[in-house]
Amino acid sequence: MSAKKIFDKEVTRRQFLKVTGKGVAGLAASTSLLNLFGLTKAEAESGAVSVMATADGVLVANGARCTGCQRCEVNCTLLNDGKAMPYISRVKVLRNYYHGNDGKEGGIFGSFDYTPDTCHQCEDPACLKACPMGAISVRESDGVRVIDKDKCVGCGACARACPYGMPTIDPETNKSTKCVACGFCAANCPCGALKIVKWEDVAAAMA
């Protein structure tokens, strides 16, 4: 990937963050972005949608479309860990599934409101800063925050530091897992509830 492209990405990313600065509802003003993300205005305003500006593109998680099949969790680990182990998935649905993201009104025992949790690929990642081994770094090629398995000692500092509870220590390997923005969960979500939209397309929609 060329330096030019990364630079473009950064510009787009900043522009995008400005639009969504006050949360997802900011999106509602941009018809072209809504179309690109496959969202309606009402969905964007409902609180069921999360939009993450990741290094690779925008990760859209739409709770209105998520039907709780948990296929994303198992697919994530089959691809990235070579085994089926939802517990260490980097996208997390089960914990919100029964009683909602806040554990109260939503979920299948409530109003059916629940949204998959995804890694935010934070601008200033708490996981990276917490790691005593320097195992988490920003991948040069695409800016994704990744874990160097050789350096990771499974201390769990990243998991504790992450404000969204995303990294999980795999008890079978004693290594941390976090999202590498591979997009596999999204590509295989049967309901189109997860989407990774490339920065190039976002740039076009904002032009």
Residues touching other proteins, count (CB under 8 A):
50
Are 80 and 146 contacting, i.e. CB atoms less than 8 angstroms apart?
A: no
198 forms part of the interface with other proteins (CB under 8 A): no
Among 97, 94, 118, CA closest to 194: 118
Q: Which is nearer to ligand SF4, 36 or 56 (CB)?
A: 56
Q: Which is nearer to other proteins, 112 or 164 (CB)?
A: 112
* Alpha carbons 86 and 42: distance in angstroms, whole number: 31
Q: What is the binding site for ligand SF4 (CB under 6 A)?
A: 66-72, 76, 80, 90-91, 93, 116, 119-122, 125-127, 130-131, 133, 135-136, 145, 147, 152-158, 162, 164, 166-167, 169, 176, 178-185, 189-191, 193-194
**In degrees rounded to 5, what are phi and psi of residue 148?**
-85, 105
* Alpha carbons 205 and 91: distance in angstroms, whole number: 26
Write the DSSP symbol of residue 188. Answer: T
42 forms part of the interface with other proteins (CB under 8 A): yes
* Alpha carbons 139 and 28: distance in angstroms, whole number: 32
Residue 43 contact among ligand SF4, other proteins, none, beta carbon within 5 to 8 Å by kind:
other proteins
94 forms part of the interface with other proteins (CB under 8 A): yes
| Amino acid at position 98, single letter | Y
5 forms part of the interface with other proteins (CB under 8 A): no
- Select the residue interacting with other proteins from 86, 116, 125, 143 (CB under 8 A): 86
The minimum distance between CB 88 and other proteins, in angstroms, equals 8
Are 11 and 34 contacting, i.e. CB atoms less than 8 angstroms apart?
A: no
34 forms part of the interface with other proteins (CB under 8 A): no
